Amino acid sequence: MKMSVRSLLLPNIKLICAPPISDERGYFAETYQYFHFAAAGINHEFIQDNQSGSSRKGTVRGLHFQAPPCAQTKLIRVLRGRIFDVVVDLRRSAATFGKHLAIELVERSGHQLLVPIGFAHGFCTLEDDTEVLYKVDAAYSPAHERGVNWADPALGIEWPVAVSEAILSDRDRALPPLIELPAYFT
């Protein structure tokens, strides 16, 4: 099957579908091929792969981004389980500043989410033992690591887990609300 690319409601956010081919042995999927991506107008040179594993349903990671000059485009894919995946537009000059998009990503669906520079990204696991892989086009820089609070009511995100029940790091719990975030992306 051929890869397809669909634009979503926020600018430059794309859903990429590379459906797996199944037979009696299991399945095979070509999840990334530079020339297919380039033909679809996705010309990022991914230089690093990151993988996270979350043992429990209701684990929240994010909303994260890296500040310029180390900002990253991410390509998100679920290897095992399901996630409620969220992106928030942080570009101050955009008409969609502060708006979010949420989508469910599922193992073996063939769906991947492209999150360009200027957006925060985070997710909540919908199943135990969920694994997420994401490619990035800039190396991780601890000095440029930033985030916005996942539960900021101003974002209007309807997370599938209550704030009191979410499993998250102390760092993510302490991230600032959007209104306190400097203008990293104009």
What is the predicted pLDDT for the residue at 18? 86
Mean pLDDT of the chain: 95
Looking at residue 174, what is its pLDDT? 97
φ, ψ of residue 173 in degrees (nearest 5): -65, -30
Catalytic residue of the set 100, 111, 121, 134:
134
Mean pLDDT across 153-182: 97
Given this model, what pLDDT does residue 30 score? 87
DSSP per residue, 65-99: EE-TTS---EEEEEEESEEEEEEEE-BTTSTTTT-
Domains belonging to the chain, first-starting first, are: 4-180 (2.60.120.10)
Q: What is the pLDDT of residues 115-140, one digit of tens each?
A: 999 999 999 999 999 999 999 999 99
Q: Quick one: pLDDT band at residue 2, thresholds 50, 70, 90?
A: confident
pLDDT of residue 69: 97
Taking the C-alpha atoms of residue 148 and residue 31, their distance in angstroms, rounded to an integer, is 29
Distance separating alpha carbons of residues 101 and 27, to the nearest angstrom: 30
Band of residue 1 on the pLDDT scale cut at 50, 70, 90: low
Q: Residues 64, 100, 111, 121: which is the catalytic one?
A: 64
Q: What's phi and psi for 153, nearest 5 deg? A: -60, -25
The pLDDT confidence band at residue 108, using thresholds 50, 70 and 90, is confident
Residue 186 has a pLDDT of 86
Q: Is 34 a catalytic residue?
A: no
Query: For the chain, where are the alpha helices, taking DSSP H only?
Result: 34-39, 170-173
Does 121 qualify as catalytic in the annotation?
no
CB under 8 Å to 16, separation ≥6 — which residues?
3, 4, 5, 6, 37, 40, 42, 75, 111, 112, 113, 114
CA distance 54 to 78: 12
Query: Residues 26-62: pLDDT tens digits?
Result: 988 888 988 889 988 999 999 999 999 999 999 999 9
pLDDT given for residue 78 in this prediction: 97
Residue 33, pLDDT score:
87
Q: State mean pLDDT over 83-105.
A: 97
CA distance 158 to 171: 21
- Output the pTM of the full model: 0.94
